[in-house]
A and B are shown apart, each in its own frame.
Chain A
Amino acid sequence: MATAKHSSAAATAPATPGADTAKYQQLEAFLTGLKVDGADLAGRRAVLIPALHRAQEIFSYLPTEVQKFIAAHLNLHVSEVNGVVSFYHYFKTKMSGKHTIEFCLGTACYVRGAAKLIEKAESMLKAKLGETTTDGLFTLGSLRCVGACSLAPVVQIDGKTYGRVTAEQIPAILAEYQK
């Protein structure tokens, strides 16, 4: 494993609350398992995106500390890691609420009324797309086309797909999670 040359962070878990230690260990095990050659810059870069995917699975988002941690482990500059994180939509840098509601913004969903669903949810939860409700229960997000256009408009809550949703159904769907 390469040692940190550029990054300011050490390749160990930063002093964070105890619950995260296990998560950092999990991530470290994954990074060590990649067995990249420290001298091979292209090889270290090539595993960056898989590493970020894994880290987001573990932490549910990619806070700066996690980005630094990965940068140090792969001996990449933290700015390069951040550049990649900020480029791709899939990587999130903010913590999400307990449940994530995502609205498909594909064309088929748009044509079949996705905008109305968003309006309804935003007004009900008093949060905009990309925001988390003040009680931390829901994060509203958008989804790139999931390719399930026959079910348009599509809403996913925590990965569960709701198809052919109407604005009238939104309160009932949200109620399932508000219990």
Chain B
Amino acid sequence: MTRLATRTDLNQLADSLRQAPAAGAAKPQIFVGMSTCGLASGAGKVYDAIAAALQEKGLADHVQLIKAGCVGLCFAEPTVELQLPNQPIVTLGDVTAERGRQLVDELAANGSFSNPLSVDNAIFKKQVRIALRNCGRIDPEQISDYLRNGGYQMLAKAVFDWQPQDVIDTIKASGLRGRGGGGFPTGVKWQAAQGAAGEIKYIVCNADEGDPGAFMDRSVLEGDPHCVLEAMAVAGRAIGARRGFVYCRAEYPLAVKRLGIAIEQARAMGLLGEKILGSDFAFDIEIKYGAGAFVCGEETSLIHSIEGKRGEPTVKPPFPAERGLWDASTTVNNVETFANIVPILEKGAAWFRSIGTEKSPGTKVFSLAGDIKNVGLAEIPMGMTIQELLYDIGGGSSDGKPIKAVQTGGPSGGCIPSIKFDTPMEYETLTALGSIMGSGGMIVMSEGTSMVKIAHFYLQFTCDESCGKCTPCRIGCKRLHEILDRILKGEGKPEDLTKLEELGNVIKDTALCGLGQTAPNPVLSTLRWFRGEYEECLKRGNRPPTYRIDPVKCVGCHACFKVCPANCIEGKVKQPHTIRQQDCVHCGACFKTCKFDAIARE
């Protein structure tokens, strides 16, 4: 790897990379998704099998085999994508080593892949990929792949062509808002940091993706680390910072590793460090590890953690843009926010505004998890309805039953009931429903999920993760948790629901940081939309639900009879069935199986 001493060097290298694999476009390409989910599902073996088969058939030089990031189809890992020259890309799911060898055999025999079992393209059709544009399409451990696709050109422009203010103006005009959850306009943040006093300034990338069920930042770091590094360097140029930090969770070892490789490669090529591309601009990036504290996703806590202290938040103002890391002006942006910067600069603010909605331009990556068929990542234009995301892209619930609710925004978010699934997703609309956009984690819950237990689960999380600095969060959440505890034990009192609401609202108004202020959301939103379940719980208490078959609705399909583990369902085919209550173990298997809505849960 030679150092790029000038901008001309960068352009020449990019040109030669584009032409170099003379067969470049003419060569078949095989991408193996090798992110955490893929590797845990056996992508390593698939890659090895394909590589060995290519060698065996003498195709190693004629086919490009690429260790790529993930395309977001977590439910179908390991995934392999096939690109034949001048043909649409084909995605294969659940690929085994054996299937990998077969693919090579077919390629060797026919020069194409016969009838590949493809993942439904509908999943991709409704997506618009900006932040995830390169994920799964390039080798994240090769800077040349990124450079071939126009990488670091915007950094070159920011250094040589544009004034710092030009960059900030473009970001401001694009209307990009913080993708970590807050939704604060990124351009405004940058402007404040640029205007802040002091010689020393810092850029921080928040990769402490602590929301359970959110994994888009991991995917970007594992699949396209350079896009974050380039954006950070551009931000450094615009704001006047010379040092940047990526604060990454210790739970993401692969992301940390790939980020480390990317930083080394960028330094070696003179794209980070002193005299970038021969200019006077210097910018370097270090990785800082988190150590497992949810609150460190909050920017002031994160800053304290980088300083080596307990990650406790401090009151804002002063905002980090004025006084942050080591008391210097600090700009903290989330991974996904940074991943949007380079495309905006490339294609312009007007292009970005043409996607999404007026108030929330652009796209958002959501991670679908829980009771949903197509678990994975989906990047969609803002303003798409929840319904479209869950059914057209997510494929509906995993058991085919209607979806009861979705939880967005992790422990800071709320539950949205199915009657509101026609809501277009924007920062404001989700807030109006008592939830938040958050980082984009979306947990899908099917009929069998108890909303009281879900609220209890999140409160447990918040109690564990409360840093303890402010009283409303430390003690308030504990009290909320205790009330939920006793409701679930069957010891609830009628006034408990009002108490939950009152206390929840007090915490919202008085907690010190964003996490404390949003901690009651899971309780408040489930109380708002699923009050009936709380009331049922007050009445029923700890008693498990009773299942009854409605003799009118039951068609006698016998399906429940077959799944009942206690053999307590009686009835002949085509005649209404009944449940022998004394033997019922309350497992709900019959309820889940019934396709005729004939079983009632009380």
Residues of chain A at the chain B interface (Cβ within 8 Å): 42, 44-50, 52-53, 83-84, 87-91, 105-112, 143-152, 161, 163
Which listed residue (B288, B306, B311, B371) contacts A112, Cβ 8 A?
B371
B311 & A111 in contact (Cβ 8 Å cutoff)? no
Instruction: State A122–B410 Cα separation when bound (angstroms).
Output: 27
Tell me how far the C-beta of A87 lies from the nearest C-beta in chain B, rounded to whole angstroms: 4
B291 & A49 in contact (Cβ 8 Å cutoff)? yes
Given contacts A46-B308, A105-B461, A149-B367, 12 further A-B contacts (CB under 8 A): A42-B326, A50-B289, A83-B310, A88-B291, A88-B311, A90-B291, A111-B454, A143-B251, A145-B210, A145-B212, A148-B215, A152-B370
User: When A88-B292, A145-B211, A150-B74 are in contact, do A163 and B310 touch as well, CB less than 8 Å?
Assistant: no
Q: Please give, as numbers and ranges, the residues of chain A lying within 8 Å of B251 by CB-CB distance.
A: 143-147
* CB of B68 closer than 8 Å to a CB of A: no
A46 & B306 in contact (Cβ 8 Å cutoff)? yes
Most buried by A among B36, B292, B369, B370: B369
Q: Please give, as numbers and ranges, the residues of chain B lying within 8 Å of A49 by CB-CB distance.
A: 288-289, 291, 305, 308
B307 & A147 in contact (Cβ 8 Å cutoff)? no
Nearest chain A residue, comparing its CB with the CB of B311: A87
Nearest chain B residue, comparing its CB with the CB of A87: B310
Which listed residue (A48, A105, A150) contacts B75, Cβ 8 A?
A150
Q: Please give, as numbers and ranges, the residues of chain A lying within 8 Å of B449 by CB-CB distance.
A: 111
Tell me how far the C-beta of A161 lies from the nearest C-beta in chain B, rounded to whole angstroms: 5
* CB of B294 closer than 8 Å to a CB of A: yes
Tell me how far the C-beta of A152 lies from the nearest C-beta in chain B, rounded to whole angstroms: 7
Taking residues whose C-beta sits less than 8 angstroms from the other chain, chain B's interface range is 35 or more
Q: Please give, as numbers and ranges, the residues of chain A lying within 8 Å of B230 by CB-CB distance.
A: none
B371 & A163 in contact (Cβ 8 Å cutoff)? no
Instruction: State A179–B132 Cα separation when bound (angstroms).
Output: 45
Within 8 A of A (CB), among B283-307: 288-294, 305-307
Most buried by A among B36, B251, B289, B458: B251
Instruction: State A8–B3 Cα separation when bound (angstroms).
Output: 49
Which listed residue (B214, B252, B289, B306) contacts A53, Cβ 8 A?
B289
A88 & B308 in contact (Cβ 8 Å cutoff)? no
B308 & A45 in contact (Cβ 8 Å cutoff)? yes
The list of the 7 closest CB pairs from A to B, nearest first, reads: A150-B74, A147-B215, A106-B212, A88-B291, A149-B369, A89-B292, A90-B292
Instruction: State A148–B375 Cα separation when bound (angstroms).
Output: 10
Instruction: State A61–B293 Cα separation when bound (angstroms).
Output: 17
Q: Please give, as numbers and ranges, the residues of chain B lying within 8 Å of A42 by CB-CB distance.
A: 307, 326
Tell me how far the C-beta of B309 lies from the nearest C-beta in chain A, rounded to whole angstroms: 7
Instruction: State A44–B288 Cα separation when bound (angstroms).
Output: 15
* CB of B209 closer than 8 Å to a CB of A: yes
CB pairs A–B below 8 angstroms (21 shown): A46-B307, A48-B308, A49-B289, A83-B310, A84-B308, A90-B290, A90-B291, A107-B370, A111-B370, A111-B444, A112-B371, A145-B213, A145-B214, A147-B215, A148-B37, A148-B74, A148-B215, A149-B367, A149-B370, A150-B37, A163-B41
Instruction: State A62–B371 Cα separation when bound (angstroms).
Output: 39
Nearest chain A residue, comparing its CB with the CB of B216: A147
Within 8 A of A (CB), among B206-263: 209-215, 218, 250-252
Q: Please give, as numbers and ranges, the residues of chain B lying within 8 Å of A105 by CB-CB distance.
A: 212, 461
Q: Please give, as numbers and ranges, the residues of chain B lying within 8 Å of A106 by CB-CB distance.
A: 212-213
Q: Please give, as numbers and ranges, the residues of chain A lying within 8 Å of B312 by CB-CB distance.
A: 87
